[in-house]
Amino acid sequence: MTGLILASGSAIRARILTAAGIPFEIMRPGVDEDVLKREAAAAGQTIEETASLLADAKALDINAPGRVILGSDQILALGDRAFDKPQSSAEARERLKSLQGREHRLVNAVSIVQNRAVVFRHLETPRLFMRPMTDAEIDAYLDEAGDEILSSVGAYQVEALGSRLFDRIEGDYFAVLGLSLMPVLGYLRREGMLAY
């Protein structure tokens, strides 16, 4: 397989593709996500529509004729409220306090672009049930996990210490991590880009 571009600077998305044995090149899109989110909110778009819009925009931002470009976006939804990545440990602490003992969703959108057109979209919404935690437990987790959790919209990484924070997770594990892998693999197989 040749020609896949990952339109993302996300380390976890790159790790997912690498572990699946998919050769790819990383190109970071120049999309201003904050502007697009504000415009989507002003237009009354849902969290799911916004995630798809962002995945499209990231993939369409890469100008690479003849190449297959993969864009993805993930938004944490607590009820009707959407969250961005925390900017500080203090914000991560507040995020975990608001999520503990409650259910939230991780809306994961995938878009594939070829020749400046979106040719594939997929939306996955795993449900996560964070266990009730004391302030001391949250502080202990944040101390041990370190600043790396600031790269996660939920201030946790379920593939690492963050797994301790949950009672259960319903849905696609890869979508929880940030990239719905199985639908992407299915698309690449259908297009003859994977041998199996």
| Average pLDDT per consecutive 10 residues, the chain (196 residues; last block may be shorter) | 83 96 96 95 96 98 95 96 93 96 98 97 98 97 94 94 97 96 96 92
Q: What is the pTM of this model?
A: 0.93
Catalytic residue among 32, 61, 73, 167: 73
Residue pair 128/172 in contact (Cβ under 8 Å)? The answer is: no
Query: Is residue 73 annotated as a catalytic residue, yes or no?
Result: yes
The pLDDT of residue 2 is 52
Fold of 4-190: Maf protein (3.90.950)
d(CA 4, CA 21): 12
The pLDDT of residue 89 is 93
Q: Which of 8, 32, 2 is nearest to 111 (CA)?
A: 8
Which residue ranges make up each domain of the chain?
4-190
The pLDDT of residue 94 is 96
How many C-beta atoms lie closer than 10 Å to residue 150's C-beta? Answer: 16
